[in-house]
Chain A
Amino acid sequence: MIGGIDIRLPSKAGLESIEVATRAVRQSWPRAVFEHGDSGERYAYFWQVPFGELRELFVYRDNEVANVWDARGAVPEVSNTMIHIIYDDDLITLVIDQRDAQMDTIVEAVRSALNDSILYICAELAEAA
């Protein structure tokens, strides 16, 4: 995705940010498949993704476009069918090909999900009796 657009969103959810962002992407791409950002391992199912240890994840719209990306790279036919999600220092970066209506929906969904207070409000245990 040379020449893609980086969209940076603040996140206080640590490495969990990638799962949160991926769940939001999945709302628009229910058949998404996933690829480990370091190892390149492909995951057909959401539950297989090792969230919590990832710093980068590729999310493809579906298996068919993932195969095209693998075989031919960033060709025009698969423009905007993959999102590269990167977590680094309280920041989630979404790398996309270009802004369009669907990408804007996805980006806003990710932003909304990352704002959920469950992700950053810390509770404290009461003193043991």
Chain B
Amino acid sequence: MTRPKTTTLEEAIRHAGEGWLIDWFAPPEQAMSNLRQRLEDVARLARERLGANAPNMSEAALVDLYNHHPQKVKGFFQVLGGTRTPEILLMVWRIIQGMEIKNIQMDYHRQDHFAIRVTLESPYGEEDELYQSSAIQDFTVFRHIGTMEVSGKPVFDGFYPLKVKG
């Protein structure tokens, strides 16, 4: 399998087949600055919350990671445009990295409120991490979460890109 050789975030997004994120933004010429701002917000939050364990979320690091592991990053691109809060994007990144979903609590009442709390746990003994949001748009990331049963018990695990034609 030939690895991508993209050099910019826009190139990586388009190479991943997710150019619609840019072309359908209104107005399209502001799409990249908007996406970069979101990335910077996630990177800042990662540093604040995770300190020395914070993943490198810089644009250059993301492009490099895309070139080495395109499937891991493609799903992240898909939610980068529509997710409302940096906290939920950081949660997505941590799931892609291998953190496991320990607990999800969702509370919703039509035309009143939405709240979601997700606890991630590390298989390597690091502290649990809590992510929460009250923005209904953040619910869309759960379309990407994998499901399985282990001995008949439910497990959410993995964050996968949607297969998008077009």
* A interface, CB within 8 angstroms of B: 15-16, 19-20, 23-24, 26-28, 30-31, 45-47, 50-53, 105, 108-109, 112-113, 116, 118-125, 128
B77 at the interface (CB under 8 A from A): no
Q: How far is the CA of A46 from the CA of B163 in the complex (A)?
A: 23
Q: Are B146 and A113 in contact (CB under 8 A)?
A: yes
A23-B158, A51-B72, A52-B71 as given contacts; A116 in contact with B146, CB under 8 Å:
yes
Q: Which residues of the other chain, B, contact A45 by a CB distance below 8 angstroms?
A: 98, 124
Q: Which residues of the other chain, B, contact A116 by a CB distance below 8 angstroms?
A: 146-148
Q: Are B146 and A124 in contact (CB under 8 A)?
A: no
A16-B160, A20-B158 as given contacts; A50 in contact with B69, CB under 8 Å:
yes
In the complex, the chain A residue whose C-beta lies closest to that of B1 is A53
Partner of B163, one of A26, A50, A108, A123: A123
Smallest CB–CB gap between A122 and chain B, Å?
Answer: 4
Q: Tell me how many residue pairs across A and B have CB atoms closer than 8 Å.
A: 95
Q: Which residues of the other chain, A, contact B68 by a CB distance below 8 angstroms?
A: 50
Q: Which residues of the other chain, B, contact A118 by a CB distance below 8 angstroms?
A: 143-147, 160, 162
Q: Which residues of the other chain, A, contact B155 by a CB distance below 8 angstroms?
A: 27, 109
Q: Is the interface of B mostly helix, strand, loop or mixed?
A: mixed
Q: How far is the CA of A19 from the CA of B95 in the complex (A)?
A: 13
Q: Which residues of the other chain, A, contact B163 by a CB distance below 8 angstroms?
A: 120-123
Smallest CB–CB gap between A101 and chain B, Å?
Answer: 10
Interchain Cβ contacts under 8 Å between A and B, 15 examples: A23-B146, A30-B123, A50-B69, A51-B71, A53-B1, A105-B150, A108-B150, A112-B149, A113-B146, A118-B147, A118-B160, A119-B146, A119-B160, A122-B163, A123-B164
Q: Are B72 and A24 in contact (CB under 8 A)?
A: no
Partner of B148, one of A15, A19, A109: A109
In the complex, the chain A residue whose C-beta lies closest to that of B18 is A125
Q: Which residues of the other chain, A, contact B145 by a CB distance below 8 angstroms?
A: 118
B27 at the interface (CB under 8 A from A): no
